[in-house]
Amino acid sequence: MKSINQFQIKYFVVFCLVVGCISTPKIYFKEPVDTETKPISFQKKRVFSFDESGVYFSNDFEGARLNNVNQLNDSTYVLSILPENKPINPSPFYAFKVWSSSSKKVLLRFKYPEKYKHRYIPKIKSNGNWKIADSLNFKLDDNLSSLILKINQTPKIISGQELHTSSIVYNWVDQLVKGKESYVRFKKIGKTKLNRPFKVLDIYKGLPKNKPVIVLLTHQHPPEVTGYFAFKAFLGTILKENELSSSFLDNYRILAFPLMNPDGVDLGHWRHNAGGVDTNRDWSFYHQSEIKTTVNYITKVLNKNNSKLVLGLDFHSTYYDVFYTNEERKSTALPEFLPKWFSALEERIPEYKVNEKASNSRQPVSKGWFLYGHKAVGVTYEIGDDTPRDRIKLIGKESAQAMMKILVH
């Protein structure tokens, strides 16, 4: 193997001499990350019962995260929230049900391991609807955040973010593609460590040969649902039946991965998959099944159809809206795309200013994989944790329309 220059990323292709196939290229980064599978701690699924006060908690559902509950007095409960393993990004996630035998008010205190602080404002699901906890009832504190909550016999879900587990995500996709099966193929292409299905939407009109490919990813990190909401609006806009969308899909092929970490999402993880790894650090040697399946499928599509990957968008969430981009532009397939795209967003969205942070990836993240592996434009498309949901839909919709207009004209 050739030595790797400090500032230059190279990759190699291994030929399967027996059958003539080509394996997915490995991409080398300046700062490699160990993404070999690591052990995780599974929650014990149970109901936490406090019969004398008639208060009950449960983590026995998809997406839940609650490790223990201790009662301080008749109305105060301390909730212990632990990560799946360590070290881990300091983004504690929680989700649990709570109810009582009679109507009452309780004080819930969130307890994390030392050095971890509360991040997500509680979202409350009651009668099928989600709402953000009132600021009068939620106190954000570095040491012990707390929530005052009215409860009764009907269980409420309290969660760091709205839950969009694998069953919910895949059901949404099933509904989205109804009537579009002639050009949208939603299919299983692999499985996760815990045998959950791993799926892709393969979208194009006409013949696939030579079509440039655009890749959309989301939900690599389980709690990051605001990025997923933008992905939903983005993809839904592309699949609207109109002249712009039709022209775009006549000329481009979309590979959209709506749930990159099914195990982590369903297990209520803070950050990692069932292999105990941040999948957005595995875009180099593909130790984790989710990333390996993704890159193998992309490689297969490109090789079979003589196609080129030109753009990759990876939808995430952080504390504020931001686009993380690569500094390198001239060598990419679309060297003028980003300035045009960002200008269009500022023109189309009221009172919107693009927050761009450019740096060539040193660690094995998806935007670096797009650039170094394919000379494609790579973007980590981040939405703020608390960005208003209607605003997210608008940003997702307008960014998709702007992308299509730029690429078809």
For 146-215, the DSSP string reads EEEEEE-SS-EEEESS----HHHHHHHHHHHTTT-TTTEEEEEEEE-TT--EEEEEEE-SS--TT--EEE
Give residue 53's domain range: 47-159
In a domain, 330, yes or no: yes
Residue 4 has pLDDT above 80, yes or no: no
Which of helix, strand or coil describes residue 314? strand
Structure tokens at 155: 């269980």
- Give me the CATH number covering residue 62: 2.60.40.3120
Residue 23: pLDDT band with limits 50, 70, 90: low
Domain boundary among 159, 194, 216: 159
**What mean pLDDT is predicted for residues 177-199?**
98
Look at strands 55-58 and 95-100 and give their pairing: antiparallel
In a domain, 41, yes or no: no
Same domain, 319 and 192: yes
Same domain, 152 and 173: no
Same domain, 109 and 131: yes
Same domain, 373 and 397: yes
Domain boundary among 101, 128, 159: 159
Structure tokens at 199: 């799926």
Same domain, 56 and 79: yes
Same domain, 227 and 319: yes
Same domain, 114 and 131: yes
Same domain, 70 and 103: yes
**What mean pLDDT is predicted for residues 281-306?**
98
| Residue-wise pLDDT tens digits, 197-209 | 999 999 999 999 9
Residue 25: pLDDT band with limits 50, 70, 90: confident
Q: How many domains does the chain have?
A: 2
- Give me the CATH number covering residue 242: 3.40.630.10
Same domain, 62 and 175: no
In a domain, 175, yes or no: yes
324 - beta bridge partners?
357, 380
| Global pTM exceeds 0.85 | yes
Cis peptide before 87 (omega within 30 of 0): yes
Same domain, 120 and 193: no
Note the Cα 409 to chain centre separation in Å: 30
Residue 12 has pLDDT above 60, yes or no: no
Same domain, 144 and 201: no
Same domain, 378 and 320: yes
pLDDT at 15: 31
| Residue-wise pLDDT tens digits, 64-74 | 999 999 999 99
